[in-house]
Each structure stands twice: as structure tokens, then as C-alpha cells.
Amino acid sequence: MREAVLATPALDPRFRAHFRLAQANARDAAFICRLRSDPDLNQHLNSSSAEVEDQLRWLQAYKLREAQGREFYFVIVFDGADIGVVRMYDLRLDQDPTSFAWGSWIIPPPRPVGLVTFTALMIYEIGFDALGFQQAHFEVRKDNVGVVGFHLRAGAIQVGEDQESFHYVYPPQAYRRLRAASADRYAQLRGA
């Protein structure tokens, strides 16, 4: 599975100068820690330590999960600069339909136009096209109104809720519609 992620066009080195997802590693610890410890950016995420050493230990443990194909953590790179992070996890290969979760999504403002949509498209490209999952699943905190709206506009289907979060599934058909609707801008951003 890890090899499929590494081979996906979403990680193609031709796009390093403009937009790509890069697999997170130890050298990203300070950057990730800075994003996750910013109270304006992490108010809708699970809390994490503000200590770089703690983040480094987490990343080292994560790399073992990545090597087993259980989880993938990406740094979002735009015009050669690290600009955000996003994660794939809870890969459900033994259920029908197969499913993956994604989140821990942080892109601080100012966000380049289209980057939010293109990041989601890249995650779906990896999940559906490279890894062959049959759906995505995720939850969004109810008070994260902007992200709730984004996912609904993108075609997410609400399947439940708890006191804190809405729960969604996302079918590959919705990804293909979003990709088609964004095709012109997506091709320009990817350098195609």
C-alpha cells in the first residue's frame, strides 16, 4: 500500500515547484508543531503537545505505521513552501465498502485560491485512484462551519452525528464530480 501512495500522481515530483503533497518526516516536526499549537488553527482538532520533541517522537512512531500502510501524513507544499498538513488514517480494508478517513487538515491563511479544494482532490486521488478504496469517512466538529460547508458542497453525505461532530461518508462518484468541476483550475495548479 505504501508503494501505491508513493507512486500516485498526487506525489509526482514534477509538481514540487507549484503544488504537491510530501510525506511528512522528522524534519517537519517544528513546522507541524507550529501549526498544531496555533490556537486559531487547531480549535477544531484534537489537542497535541506544543513541544517539538513530542512531535518528533509522534512522527517517529507514525513512520512505523506508514511503513505498514496504516496511515499517511502529508505536508502540503505550494510554490516550494510548506503551507499546511493533512492526514489519512483509519484505513478500513476489511469492511465492505472499504474506507479511509482523512483529517488533521490545517492550511493557515492566507490560503492560495483553490488550494483547499485541490488538497481534498489530492487526498481523494490517493484514496480512490491509487489505493482503490470504495469510500472515505470522516467527522467534522459541528462548530467548524466553514469545513462542514466545504464538505457538503463537495458531495459528502451525512450519516450520523454525536454531541460534538457530524459524521460523513464520501463516495468516489462525488470525488469524480468535484474533480470534473475543478478540472481547468486543477490542471493549471498541477502544472499539467
Of 4, 122, 133, 120, which is closest to residue 66 (Cα–Cα)? 4
Query: Residue 9: CA atoms inside 13 Å, Cβ hemisphere, count?
Result: 11
Strand order across the beta sheet in which 165-170 lies = 19-23, 72-78, 81-92, 99-106, 135-141, 165-170, 157-161
Give the three cell numbers for residue 187. 490542471
Of 75, 70, 89, which is closest to residue 30 (Cα–Cα)? 75
Give the three cell numbers for residue 126. 490517493
pLDDT tens-digit series, residues 167-186: 999 999 999 999 999 877 76
Torsion of CA 183, 184, 190, 192, to 10 degrees: 110
Go through the domains of the chain in sequence order and give each one's CATH number.
2-190 (3.40.630.30)
Q: Residue 118: which H helix or E strand, with range?
A: helix 115-124
pLDDT tens-digit series, residues 103-158: 888 888 888 888 889 899 999 999 999 999 999 999 999 999 999 999 999 999 99
